[in-house]
Amino acid sequence: MRSDLAERWLTPDGQRRRERLIASGFQGPWREVLKGFPGADALGPHVGDLRGIDLAQEELPGAEFVHVRLDGARLDDCGLNEARLDFTTLSGASLTWARMERASLMACVAMATCWDDASLEGAVLTASNLVHGSFRRARLQGARLTAATLMKADLRCADLRGAELSFCDMEEACVAGVRTDWPRTYGRAGLGNADVSYYRDHGGYPSFMDAILLDPGMRALRWLDRKEILMHVEAAVEMSPAVDAEILALLLDPDFEAAVRLRLEAPDELRYEAASSLMWALGLDQSKNVWGRSGVSICQRWMANLRKNMAASIQQRWRRAEVSVYSA
């Protein structure tokens, strides 16, 4: 979205128009307020031009947004219960924590829109284009998503219990940790479904099963060479009722260090890379170890993949921490 479409709302004229629109509750002939507003006339009299508007935290129950352009708008924590947004464009908009129970969004276009933590219980999104949308932790109980397109959407930890998903396109969508009424199957699992059930129920790390079962199966967590794996791990951390206990069950056991040291006493029985990687993990002096270089490179590659696939905001925090350490 062009920056000038958002900046026009910051002018004195834009602020006055915005206040009048909010006072109307976006009901009745509110489009009259937009006459003469920069950019609005180009869309025609029947399309409401609200591109780039900031309506965060406003209470607008039952608002009439049919055939409205809300590209790039801020609707975070906005009260839109039973609002009508049919045939509306919401691409690039932010609706985090929005309250949209029983709202109607039929055939809307909302590409790369953020719905994280939004409440959409009973909402109707039939035939909507939701490609690349982010629905993390969104509450979609009883929502109607018939024939909606959720291709490459992020649905991690979303609640889809009771939702209607017939003919819904969810190709390449991330559904790690999603809550549904039906039992999960693991078509891409390296293990049979019987083994998956066993490890899920008895392995001590049920929240991490989606991450573990990505290609290449049980080794998926070893390399962290794809963003998809990290997304699944992040979802597992969010959904876990006892994340510390699950991680310990997944990666460690009380005798871990003793067992590693015992194995290192007979390194000939291990591959060079395995022996040196264990030494690296334990922080042992490798100055006289002939396997050190290969093992360290494996661990460094793992850390490099972690950095490469981590979210940009987290990478920035890491860089700031490194700068503070070096400057000290």
Beta pairing partners, 119: 99, 139
Residue among 188, 72, 24, 42 at smallest CA distance from 33: 24
Q: Which range has the worst mean pLDDT, 25-29, 95-99, 127-131, 212-216?
A: 212-216
What is the Cα–Cα distance from 80 to 97, expressed in whole angstroms? Answer: 11
> Is the per-residue pLDDT at 290 higher than 70?
no
With a pLDDT cut of 70, the percent of the chain lying above it is: 72
Give the list of residues 6+ apart from residue 27 with CB closer than 8 angstroms, or none. 62, 63, 64
Give the list of residues 6+ apart from residue 303 with CB closer than 8 angstroms, or none. none
Residue among 77, 80, 139, 76 at smallest CA distance from 105: 80
Banded model confidence at residue 124, pLDDT cuts 50, 70, 90: very high
What pLDDT is attached to residue 161? 96
DSSP state at residue 19:
H
Tell me the mean pLDDT in the region 135-149: 97
DSSP state at residue 89:
B
| Residue pair 235/157 in contact by the 8 Å Cβ criterion | yes
What pLDDT is attached to residue 304? 76
Mean pLDDT taken over the chain: 83
Collapsing DSSP states into helix, strand and coil, what is residue 321? helix
> Is the per-residue pLDDT at 160 higher than 60?
yes
258 phi and psi angles, rounded to 5 deg: -65, -40
- The verdict on whether omega for the bond into residue 216 sits within 30 degrees of 0, i.e. cis, is yes
Collapsing DSSP states into helix, strand and coil, what is residue 114? strand
* CA-to-CA dists, residue 139 to 100, 157, 163, angstroms: 10, 9, 10
Tell me the pLDDT tens digit for each residue of 66-119.
999 999 999 999 999 999 999 999 999 999 999 999 999 999 999 999 999 999
> Is the per-residue pLDDT at 227 higher than 90?
no
Collapsing DSSP states into helix, strand and coil, what is residue 209? helix
Copy the structure tokens of residue 96: 């985090």
Longest dimension (CA), the chain: 82
Banded model confidence at residue 168, pLDDT cuts 50, 70, 90: very high
**Whole-model pTM?**
0.74
